[in-house]
Structure 1
Amino acid sequence: MKQERIRDLLKDWRVLTLIILLVLSVVAIYPHFDNSGNLTTNLQYGLDLQQGAWLQLEFKAEVVGYTTTEPVDTFVANLSKSLDTDVEQVDANHLEIRKSYTQAELEPYFEAEGGTVVSYQPGISKASADLVKQILEQKINAMGTKDAKVNTLTGMNNVARYVRVEMAGVDMNQAQQIIGKQGKFEIRIQTTGNETEHVLYGDTITSVQVPSKDTSGNWGVGFTLSDAGAETFRDAAIKYGATTDPTHHQLAMILDNKTVYSAPLSSNLASSLQSETTRTMTASTGTGTYGMQQATNLEIQLRAGALPVDVSVAGSGSTSASLGSHYMAMCLIAGILALITVAFVIFYRYREPRIVLPMVLINASEIVILLGFISVIKFQMDLPTIAGLIAVLGTGIDQLVVITDEILHEGIVPSQTVYLKRLARALTIIVVAAATVLIAMLPLALMDLSTLKGFAIITMMGVLVGVIVTRPAYGKIIMEILSQ
């Protein structure tokens, strides 16, 4: 009889869903021993739980409120020329000056061009900050660095002054090499002698191909310019003689005032630019291993070297490998103690092992499912994430108590009809409570620089897993166990 009830229980869709998710989660986590005999998993750990470093970069630019009596386009163009930097219009009343100036230094330039400085805020616009974030992420990915976070700090006025980069698994020297020296990428054309003229910034490069070798054995990197960038490039090539005398008017790619690539236009490209605009080009880097290495380095710079503004390192810090291991051990102990404490509290309340065991197992199953979810989406586990998992243990057991108390009215398991009504009432209470938690956690989950973002996301996922999967399964399991 008991075997039949167990078979029926395992066939129930709620219980079956829970079992399938548990199996899939264990597969996703993939606990196994590495070559050194240490137990490892597919889980990725953040800066708190392993060696790593963080850098906070300050944007060397400012957003300025202004008024002018001149036509806006003329005013912006003249101001850009006099300041010797890019000036971008943020909106009708604000300009982004992509170079570090104080307000006192800017005011004479504005007055000379027929304008007035109304407000001054160090930093860049939200749109530029989003672009910097994308570029830095591409830079880090291209360097093969894993487990990195890039977040910009944007104020209520939509001006961002800092960007913070966290990289797990690297030391401070590596972090400085990857991020700290990041600068502005520029394409210039040689005019006379060693003189060059600016043509494009890297933000006009819309796509970059992986390094490839042509039929002659030459390595190169193909890249594509935007329509506006291609037009500007063609005009500059013709103007400075690069199409008629490529050898004496070479193309130079510069990062942080350092030339990373220099070569004349190919005869085919020079010829085609005379008659038409060309968006797709290839930068050749040579043959053999050296050519391949140069192509790889150039690909990285083309993909992610084009920060629209200069940056400086405003702060930094690191976590040692030993400290990260200590934190990880403490988190594991905290999780185990939390689960044991929950079991003792439940046993003290009900004094019934048949109730305690299902509750604890269901509670632990939520953690396993969440870890599987974390593993699948490659979410980094840090201290706030661990705190979220422990919070799920607490909120989860609260909801299981609600279900148990509703079903066991005066210690008696009701009939099937009454049971379903009581379970529905309990689940309604749980859904309302879950909705409240989701609404409360949503702002934290959406904040870019919130250190509690991981906590909020895991708490929200725990609530959803509980409401959709584990609570209905527990309601079915507890009734089958207690019904005699």
Structure 2
Amino acid sequence: MNWKKLLFNWRVLLLTIFIIGSIASLLTYGLTFGLDISGGTAITVKLEHPVDQNTMEQVKVSLEKRLNQLGVKDIKVEPWGDQYIIVKVAGVTEEEARSVKETIERQGVFYAEFEGVIFATGEDIVQVFPIQIEPKGTYYEWSVPFRISKQAAEKFAQLAKDKAGYPVDMFLDPPVNSLFVVPQEGYNLMITDFKGEAPDAMPLTERIKKAFNIDTIAYTNQSIDEIVNLAKDKKLVVLVSVDKNLRDQLEAKGITVRYFEPQQGEDLKSLITRALGLYGPYSLGSGLAQGIPQTDVRITGTAPNQYIAQQEAQVIAVVLSSGSLPVKVYVEGSQYISPELGENFKRQVLIAGIAALIVVGLVIWFHYRKLRIAIPVTFTSLSEVIIILGIAALIKWNLDLPSIAGIIAAIGTGVDQQIVITDELLGRSKREKIVKRSSILKRMGRAFFVILASATTTVVAMSFLFKFFVGGLRGFAFTTILGVIIGISITRPAYAEIAKFLIGEKR
């Protein structure tokens, strides 16, 4: 076989076509990187209880709808089993990541309440209008205007007639049927404040008891047994700025607990409203106290700067417009990686990849002491990397660190298989002396039988990971399978032809 015949061999031509096509794909589409390289946030979401496939799909679609309305790019919502969902958002800032988390945590259950009577729910929301933000001195006020149904407006008009100044409460995801535990100071605030401009209005503690069956107690170092007894027949216990040990003791008793502690700069009153999911209370204007139905209402709030005001208002608007989730969800954990750190990962991965190819070439050279073996092996490994990356760019596969580890694993397997082919061609004995044992075709047949058996077991094992797992394991499995398939169908046959020319006919 001469050089011209080798270059026009169909296996070598196939390899050349795939290399050229992969380079074109990389130049046209570029690579898409995962969170651990490009930066972003990964959030683990737990459903309240295991669900069937249809319900899981409803939750997935609802979350996708909400998050897409935030205007954040590269969102992936991946169900994991029957009770978990992994939400991945690439290329976001820390503030955007916080908005994504808050949006997920909102169940989207809306209630409007007046003097303990619920007059509107999420089903009564007809339309949500664009958010509004206005500067107010040293802070910004945001508002989310929306329209409620005529029936809800008429019910509110009857309740509010001649009660100007009374508080109107709006809730998103209140802790229905719960025990609300606050410090004595917080309990006093709930009794005396939250009344709008009407001193004789019903205290907040009574309003939430009547509307949502929320019992409020002041924590004064009661024993754990007393708390457990008070929480009997309740769905959960909400602890607001009290001893953390109480949370651990209640959870040890099998009681569901939500714990809230103040964030930076947050006072106790603001913490209570956050724990209740309360917006307001809003003092009822005299115009609304005339018994005339008004369908246009709004939720308002304040923020220290325009950006935070925009984020908070957008979350509320998205939740109101998308409606409630079919099952309650809780954020189990989250991980944020800054884009700057991701850029460092890219450089490190590139350096590691180049170093690995160089080391492979050196090891092969030291083993055989022949450049005509070391160079083709190194070139074949490089071509496999190019083809894998080209296909990944074409299908927009997110390359994360486990995916890159899968590429390295596939290349390592490929080098092993090329050594098998080389040794069969050399016909080495145990003493490393060249011995002609059989024809080249027979030796190649033995080599490819070993290669095919090894590739089959690898693909079967990785297919299990790809099918039943998500996240890093799935990415590792995908690139490993892709690398093995490319190896046995494209690069390994081409290398065999090149090796036969360089070794088989040169001995």
Q: 2:8 corresponds to which residue?
A: 11
1:241–1:132 distance in 2 versus 1, CA, 3 Å? closer
Do 2:41 and 2:88's aligned partners in 1 also have CA atoms closer than 8 Å? yes
Q: Does structure 1 residue 178 correspond to structure 2 residue 178?
A: no
CA offset digits 1:73-129 (Å, max 9, x no partner): xxxxxxxxxxxxxxxxxxxxxxxxxxxxxxxxxxxxxxxxxxxxxxxxxx5445423
* SS in structure 1 of the partner of residue 472 of structure 2: coil
1:55 aligns with 2:43: yes
Aligned AA (1:385): S
Q: 2:455 aligns with which of 426, 431, 434?
A: 434
Answer yes or no: is the 8 Å Cα contact 2:122–2:323 preserved in 1. no
Q: Distance between the aligned counterparts of 2:345 and 2:31, measured in 1?
A: 16
Q: Is the 8 A contact 1:363 1:396 kept in 2?
A: yes
1:408-447 alignment, distance < 5 Å = 408-410=426-428, 418-447=439-468
Task: Give the structure with higher Rg (CA).
Answer: 2
Aligned partner of 2:493 in structure 1 is 472
- For residues 297-351 of structure 1, what are the alpha-carbon distances to aligned partners after superposition, in whole Å with 9 as ceiling and x for unaligned? 9997799655212334332221123322222222222212211111111111111
CA contact (8 A) 2:462 2:477 kept: yes
Distance 1:139 1:474, change over 3 A: farther
Which residue matches 2:404? Answer: 386
CA contact (8 A) 1:147 1:380 kept: no
Q: What is the deviation of 1:149? A: 3.2
Root mean square deviation of aligned Cα:
4.4
Distance in 2 of aligned mates of 1:408 and 1:258: 78
Q: Indicate the SS of the match to 2:38.
A: coil
TM-score between the two structures when normalised by the length of structure 2 = 0.56
Identify the match of residue 43 of structure 1 among 24, 31, 36: 31
Is the alpha carbon distance of 1:303 and 1:129 closer, same or farther for their aligned partners in structure 2, counting shifts above 3 Å? farther
User: Match of 2:19?
Assistant: 22
Matching residue of 1:148: 75
Corresponding residue for residue 55 of structure 2: 128
Count of matched residue pairs:
335
| Alignment CA distance shift 1:124-1:241 (3 Å) | closer
Answer with 352-361 or 403-412: which moved more. 403-412
User: The residue matched to 2:439 in structure 1 has which SS?
Assistant: helix
Q: Pick from 356, 359, 367: which aligns with 1:338?
A: 356
Relative to structure 1, the CA distance from residue 304 to residue 468 in structure 2 (aligned partners, 3 Å threshold; closer, same or farther) is farther
Distance 2:122 2:40 in 1: 38
| Cα offsets for 1:134-185 (capped at 9, x unmatched) | 332344445453333323443xxx4x1x433121100232123234224445
Q: Structure 1 residue 57: deviation in Å? A: 2.8
Structure 2 equivalent of residue 325 of structure 1: 343
In 1, Cα distance between the equivalents of 2:70 and 2:392? 24
Instruction: Give the conservation status (yes or no) of the 8 Å contact 2:400–2:475.
Output: yes
Residue matched to 1:405 = 423
Q: Which amino acid aligns with 1:408?
A: L
Deviation of 1:47 after TM superposition, in Å, equals 1.1
Q: Look up the equivalent residue of 2:35 and give its one-letter code.
A: L
Give the unaligned 5+ runs of structure 2.
126-148, 158-170, 174-276, 280-313
Partners of 1:187 and 1:201 within 8 A in 2: no
Take 1:8 and 1:196, find their aligned partners in 2: how far apart are those partners?
Answer: 85
Per-residue deviation at 1:45? 1.1
Unaligned runs of 5+ in 1: 32-40, 63-122, 203-236, 249-253, 260-295
8 Å Cα contact 2:402/2:472 also seen in 1: yes
Q: Distance in 2 between matches of 1:404 and 1:153?
A: 44
CA distance in 1, matches of 2:415, 2:449: 16
- Identical amino acids, percent of aligned pairs: 36
- Secondary structure of 2:95's counterpart equals helix
CA distance in 1 between partners of 2:79 and 2:383 (Å): 36
8 Å CA contact 1:139, 1:305 repeated in 2: no
Distance 1:42-1:301 versus aligned 2 partners, 3 A rule:
farther
User: Cα gap change, 1:337/1:55 in structure 2, threshold over 3 Å: closer, same or farther?
Assistant: same
Q: 1:137 to 1:404 in 2, by over 3 A?
A: farther
User: Does the CA-based 8 Å contact 1:186-1:200 persist in structure 2?
Assistant: no
- Report matched runs for 1:458-469 at 5 Å: 458-469=479-490
Where 1:30 maps in the other structure, the secondary structure is: helix
TM-score, length-scaled by structure 1: 0.58
Alignment partner of 1:56: what SS? strand
Matched-pair contact (CA < 8 Å) for 2:78–2:470: yes
In structure 2, the CA distance between the partners of 1:55 and 1:476, relative to structure 1 (3 Å rule), is: same
CA distance in 2, matches of 1:201, 1:28: 50
SS in 2 for 1:452: helix
Q: Which amino acid aligns with 2:31?
A: L
* Aligned 8 A contact 2:63 2:77 in 1: yes
The answer to whether the 8 A contact 1:406-1:426 is kept is: yes
Secondary structure at the counterpart of residue 55 of structure 1? strand
Q: 8 Å contact 2:108–2:324 — kept in the other structure?
A: yes
- 1:44, distance to aligned residue in structure 2 (A): 1.0
After superposition, the Cα gap between the structure-2 partners of 1:201 and 1:58, relative to the gap in structure 1 and judged at 3 Å, is farther
Counterpart of 1:54 in 2: which secondary structure?
Answer: strand
Q: Quickly say closer, same or farther: Cα 1:301–1:6, change in 2 above 3 A.
A: farther
Whether contact under 8 Å (1:339, 1:393) holds in the other structure is: no
**Counterpart mapping for 1:166-245 below 5 A:** 166-182=88-104, 183-184=106-107
Instruction: Report the equivalent of 2:268.
Output: none
Equivalent-residue separation in structure 2 for 1:45 and 1:348 (angstroms): 35
> Within 2, Cα distance between the matches of 1:370 and 1:302?
44
User: In the alignment, is the contact (CA less than 8 A) between 1:413 and 1:479 conserved in 2?
Assistant: no
1:151 is paired with a residue of what secondary structure?
strand
Specify the alignment match of 2:189 in structure 1.
Answer: none
